[in-house]
Amino acid sequence: MAEKIIILGSEGQVGTDLAASLRAVYGKNNVVCSDIKPATEEKQDLGPYEELNVLDRNAITETFRKHKPTMVYHLAAMLSATAEKFPRKGWDLNMEGMFSIFDACMEFDVKRVFWPSSIAVFGPNTPRIDTPQFCVMDPNTIYGISKLAGERFCEYYHQKYGLDVRSIRYPGLIGWKAKPGGGTTDYAVDIFHQALIQNQYTCFLKADTALPMMYMDDAIKATINVTEADSNLIKIRSSYNLSGMSFDPKTLSDEIARQRPGFHIDYDIDGRQQIAESWPQSIDDSAARNDWGWKPDFSLETMVSEMLKQLSKMGVGAN
């Protein structure tokens, strides 16, 4: 049977890249994009698009009835920094959104569901270097708490109801097609825009705050690979640790300056520093490597060169 895919949250940072990749593989009409943002002619030219609020169960039922998806990627969520500003809204969107999509997947017999978790599930008492797959998890942000609860429900829905949910813990993601919104790791995308615009960036995290990061192409590869892997290979039904690279703002800015002489970084630390300090610095992803063959392609050097190249092509910093 031909696959029919629905992406919830397709206008976000991951959704934008994922939609393009899935449409290239499955054909544009077999990938339905949906987001709370209104439809535009431009979006509809790229393929089917539904304006959809993941908290609106009736609208979700209608959309699933209309498109009969075989696979669902549920990406709609509020990220760490924004959820700290709007805790109740963050909790409701992240949890209720997940329940409404999982329930619709059960009702319409969806074959597979992808739901992203995050390094935010870890907390101040988690080992911060090479963070193990299984360890103390005591997140102290609303986003992290909702992601950890979500992971438990992924496993629960799989064990109790047989829903085939797959999940990975995204590190900070760096891509050029869309900007992130409201995360603690957003500096690692903004820095490239500012490097091209004014060869200078003011960072909201301290110079030596190392965090796990990943180039978007690797994140999309992992997302599609874990969702399409044979069911018997998916041994962890909560969420897989995933690693690409780890760096701090100083190391990233040194590499940008190497590739773009004259670039310099300043620091003006804000509340996101506290969130970053509760997260791991690097991740042990051996379970993902062993179970479904995960392997990243991009290093710090190749990621920086791709980001500068692609954003320049888009005209960022021109004139």
**H-type alpha helices, 108-141:** none
Residue closer to ligand AKB (CB basis): 73 or 143:
143
User: What is the side-by-side order of every strand in the sheet holding 211-215?
Assistant: 172-174, 211-215, 245-247
| Least Cβ distance, residue 167 to ligand AKB (angstroms) | 13
Contacts of 10 by beta carbon, 8 Å cutoff, 6+ apart: 16, 18, 19, 33, 34, 35, 49, 75
Quick one: which of 63, 185, 241, 253 contacts ligand AKB (CB under 6 A)? 185
| Least Cβ distance, residue 288 to ligand AKB (angstroms) | 16
Contacts of 110 by beta carbon, 8 Å cutoff, 6+ apart: 64, 69, 70, 71, 72, 104
Determine contact, residues 178/12, Cβ cutoff 8 Å. yes
Region of residue 305 (left: phi > 0; alpha: psi -120 to 50; beta: else): alpha
Contacts of 318 by beta carbon, 8 Å cutoff, 6+ apart: 312
Residue closer to ligand AKB (CB basis): 63 or 94:
94
Sign of CA dihedral 303, 5, 182, 244: negative
Quick one: which of 69, 139, 183, 249 contacts ligand AKB (CB under 6 A)? 183
Residue 222 host element (H or E): helix 216-228
Quick one: which of 119, 219, 226, 242 contacts ligand AKB (CB under 6 A)? 119
Ranked by CB distance to ligand AKB, the top (closest) residue is: 183
Determine contact, residues 219/119, Cβ cutoff 8 Å. no
From 143, 157, 170, 215, the catalytic residue: 143
Determine contact, residues 54/114, Cβ cutoff 8 Å. no
Please say if 157 is a catalytic residue: no
Taking CB under 6 A as the binding criterion, the range among 36-44, 157-165, 181-189, 236-244 that sits at the site for ligand AKB is 181-189
Q: Which residues between 135 and 174 bind ligand AKB (CB under 6 A)?
A: 143, 170, 172
| Least Cβ distance, residue 86 to ligand AKB (angstroms) | 14
Taking CB under 6 A as the binding criterion, the range among 26-34, 50-58, 114-122, 157-165 that sits at the site for ligand AKB is 114-122
Taking CB under 6 A as the binding criterion, the range among 66-74, 180-188, 234-242, 249-257 that sits at the site for ligand AKB is 180-188
> Per-residue x/- mask for ligand AKB, residues 64 to 103, rule CB under 6 A?
---------------xx-----------------------
| Least Cβ distance, residue 261 to ligand AKB (angstroms) | 29
Residue closer to ligand AKB (CB basis): 54 or 174:
174
**H-type alpha helices, 37-86:** 41-46, 57-67, 80-85
Taking CB under 6 A as the binding criterion, the range among 61-69, 179-187, 285-293, 298-306 that sits at the site for ligand AKB is 179-187
Q: Could you tell me the two tokens for 256?
A: 């940008």
Chain residues in the site for ligand AKB (CB under 6 A): 79-80, 118-120, 143, 170, 172, 180, 183-185
Active site residues: 143
